[in-house]
Amino acid sequence: MSDFRALRAKIAAIEAGARPDSESLPFGAAAIDDCLPGGGLPLGRWHEVGGAGLEVETAAAPTAFTALLVTPLARRGEVVWVLRRDDLCAAGLLGLGFPPERLIQVCARDEAEALSVMEDALATVGVSAVVGEVEACDLTAGRRLQLACEKRGSTGFLIRRRPYGGTARRAATGSAAATRWRVASAPSEPPVGEFGLGPPRFAVELERCRGGRTGAWLLEAPQAFSEAYNLEMTDVAHPLRLVANLGDRQLAPAQPFRHVA
């Protein structure tokens, strides 16, 4: 059975345009990993993360989700974060378990400069991941990003953000991204018997996946509330935990009304 799963993962990687032996980052949950080519988030490629509603401008939930995706990669090298507005809070990243000492922030003046900086950073020695805030990425720019990823094996994350809502333009058609995600905040739940806020939760939808399948899940970041994880780079495979699958569910059939005298 394991041989069959490995063969299926290689076929999916070939269909996605990646090398059969390309590395991936498993979420540790079969419900998610089985949707991704190679059994995890493909590394050495770039991925799109976006939100909906007000999140298109603020990108709060997509930014937190992306930081959690990048955290395991920060153990391997520096992370370059290309901003359109100087509003990234390093203390907030620390609360999610991201090591701020591995962070390099660059504030770009416009879309073209942001994409150019991402391309250069992805091809730089010692950089394991690059995050960029961009309104849209057309097919040509996406292919350039992918070529830059392949030079050093770095992984890119493009957060679709419109930091100045009035100047937003239509999303570009076509994309060379390996995956495309839509992320929204979800209500947290405190541990049983406790009061207050629980670990941050995200309603995550995998809208597109080259060589894989789409899906929707409720994810939680329990390690964000672990002092050991915040301060020590542990061997936790992934800082996100599957809470439940999301999808259309029919209501249970109504029970017949009984009159009780």
The domain limits of the chain are 30-165+173-245
Residue of 259 and 185 predicted with greater confidence: 185
Give 238-259 pLDDT, tens digit per residue.
Answer: 788 898 887 644 334 444 445 4
Q: What per-residue string of b and e applies to 238-254 under the rule 16 or more CB within 10 Å gives b? A: bbbbbbeeeeeeeeeee
Q: What is the pTM of this model?
A: 0.80
Structure tokens at 28: 């540790």
User: Which CATH superfamily hosts domain 30-165+173-245?
Assistant: P-loop containing nucleotide triphosphate hydrolases (3.40.50.300)
Give the model's confidence band at 174: pLDDT under 50 very low, under 70 low, under 90 confident, else very high: low
Q: How far is CA 35 from CA 75, 128, 223, in A?
A: 25, 24, 24
DSSP state letter for 29? -
Q: Which residues of 46-61 are buried (b: 16+ CB within 10 A; e: fewer)?
A: bbbbbbeeebbbbbbb
pLDDT of residue 123: 94
For 16-27, the pLDDT digits (tens) are 444 444 689 999
> Cβ neighbours of residue 6 under 8 Å, at least 6 residues apart?
none
**To the nearest whole percent, how much of the chain has pLDDT over 90?**
51
- pLDDT top residue among 229 and 145: 145
pLDDT grade for 65, boundaries at 50, 70 and 90: very high
